[in-house]
Structure 1
Amino acid sequence: MDALIPRPRQEPAPGAVHVPGWLDLDRQRELVGLCRTWANGPVPMRRVTMPTGGVMSVRSVSLGWHWLPYRYSRTADDAGGGAVAPFPEVLRTLGRDAVDAAYGDGSGASYEPDAALVNYYDDAAKMGMHQDREERVNAPVVSLSLGTTCVFRFGNTENRNRPWQDVHLASGDLFVFGGPSRFAYHGVLKTLPGSAPAGIGFEGRLNITLRQTGLG
């Protein structure tokens, strides 16, 4: 389909870059296998309970630092208290390559991601508009999509209201946001069942988000 209807690189806002098809199918399958390993690690995938009592529809596992609303910890304080798995070197390298691919200015060399959040979406899951603001530095956020396509809403830095843009993130797509867009509100409106590439090896959507916490 991409050969018939090309999906060009986009910059929906200053500092925000969408690179379609950045990961080839072999690399996607490799990452799916790693996600399975991470999901069965010392802290298994779980649904996050928000301070309001609501439960997120996605299932998540953290690497490097354990994310809780709205802080990081080295232990899974909301999931049994186990030590979070180390941040994988393969993701550090991938994150640097991703920043270089997005910006093309050599800034990937200084990118030091130390936290990853792996989210699994079934056909009914979505993610409300939010900011990634628990980090102490404003280094870019790197997002990698695997499996089912989603409708990703990328908004402004002031509130959850317009202006925003809706972007289809397909399997293998890269989305990076930093600079003026680092603290933009964003979310996932829905997934599009049946849109995953043949041979990806699972049903649903996986999203790997890399962040540099600045926590030392």
Structure 2
Amino acid sequence: MTLDLFDDIDPIPAAHEPLCDGAMVLRHFARLEAGNILADVEAIAQKAAFRRMETPGGLRMSVATTSCGNVGWVSDRRGYRYDSIDPVSGQPWPRMPESFFALAGRAAALAGFDGFAPDACLINRYDPGAKLSLHQDKDERSLDHPIVSVSLGMSAMFLFGGMKRSDSAMRIPLMHGDVVVWGGPARLRYHGVLPVKEKPHSLTGSRRINLTFRKAM
């Protein structure tokens, strides 16, 4: 079994790659914190288990999700929304770790969005073959705040398109520790993930973990 080696002990210099006005990839930004982040994700999943949600159209998502923070993202036949209660457990979502909050704020500031204070973190688990169709993040109460997306574990091909679903999309390889931030004029750009290929990572095995921070309420 071949393992990705993006969790080497020696630091890799960060690199900032602008995608367009309002969007940037921060290479390796979360890499050194990855072990602690993944431990926190595991603790969150013990309280709010990963689940494959149903879309409003009745399809089962290939990506398994959970959340932490003041509210969590929910999808079912009634639509997409944020809710303060986990519909599976009937309990409030787990508290967002302070380290998550700080990481998202630092990443947003580097991309030009000072003062980002997320109140929700959607955690996606991708098994081999899982994907995310092109979509916009527009369930938040205000679109004035950026999205901060952290990739851990197996690599993935991120699609970053235009303001219409039919616009051509850039294909951006995301590796362990990479962070994408988009907001301002890029806030409603369509984005997605191609089916994840199995290339096991030493920290996550045959899984990719993605944390998406939002200011939802």
**Is the pair's TM-score, using the shorter chain for normalization, greater than 0.5?**
yes
Q: Which amino acid aligns with 2:97?
A: P
Q: Does 1:87 align with 2:90?
A: no
For residues 32-47 of structure 1, the aligned pairs below 5 Å read 32-41=38-47, 43-47=48-52
For residues 55-204 of structure 1, the aligned pairs below 5 Å read 55-64=60-69, 65-69=71-75, 70-77=80-87, 79-103=88-112, 107-108=113-114, 110-138=115-143, 139-157=145-163, 159-194=164-199, 196=201, 199-204=202-207
Unaligned runs of 5+ in 2: 7-12
Q: Which amino acid aligns with 1:98?
A: A
| TM-score normalized by the length of structure 1 | 0.86
Q: C-alpha offsets along residues 50-88 of structure 1, whole Å, 9 cap, x if unaligned?
A: 1111010111111121211311111123x2422211222
Q: C-alpha offsets along residues 152-208 of structure 1, whole Å, 9 cap, x if unaligned?
A: 000112x21123211001000010000101111110012232263xx4243310000
Partner SS for 2:36: helix
Unaligned runs of 5+ in 1: none
Q: Does 1:208 align with 2:217?
A: no
> 1: CA distance between counterparts of 2:200 and 2:20?
26
Q: 1:129 to 1:179 in 2, by over 3 A?
A: same
For the Cα contact (< 8 Å) 1:63–1:116, is it kept in 2?
yes
For the Cα contact (< 8 Å) 2:72–2:86, is it kept in 1?
yes
Partner SS for 2:110: helix
For the Cα contact (< 8 Å) 1:149–1:195, is it kept in 2?
no
**What residue number does 2:23 align with?**
16
For the Cα contact (< 8 Å) 2:40–2:97, is it kept in 1?
no
> 2: CA distance between counterparts of 1:112 and 1:29?
23
Q: 1:123 to 1:177 in 2, by over 3 A?
A: same
Q: C-alpha offsets along residues 135-158 of structure 1, whole Å, 9 cap, x if unaligned?
A: 11220000000011100000112x
For the Cα contact (< 8 Å) 1:153–1:188, is it kept in 2?
yes
Q: Which amino acid aligns with 1:143?
A: S
Question: Percent of counterpart pairs with the same letter?
Answer: 32
For the Cα contact (< 8 Å) 1:58–1:127, is it kept in 2?
yes
> 2: CA distance between counterparts of 1:170 and 1:195?
12
Task: Give RMSD over aligned pairs.
Answer: 2.1
For the Cα contact (< 8 Å) 1:15–1:179, is it kept in 2?
yes
> 2: CA distance between counterparts of 1:195 and 1:143?
21
Q: Which amino acid aligns with 1:136?
A: R
Q: Which amino acid aligns with 2:28?
A: G
> 2: CA distance between counterparts of 1:83 and 1:114?
13
Q: C-alpha offsets along residues 91-125 of structure 1, whole Å, 9 cap, x if unaligned?
A: 1111111112222xxx43x2110000000000110
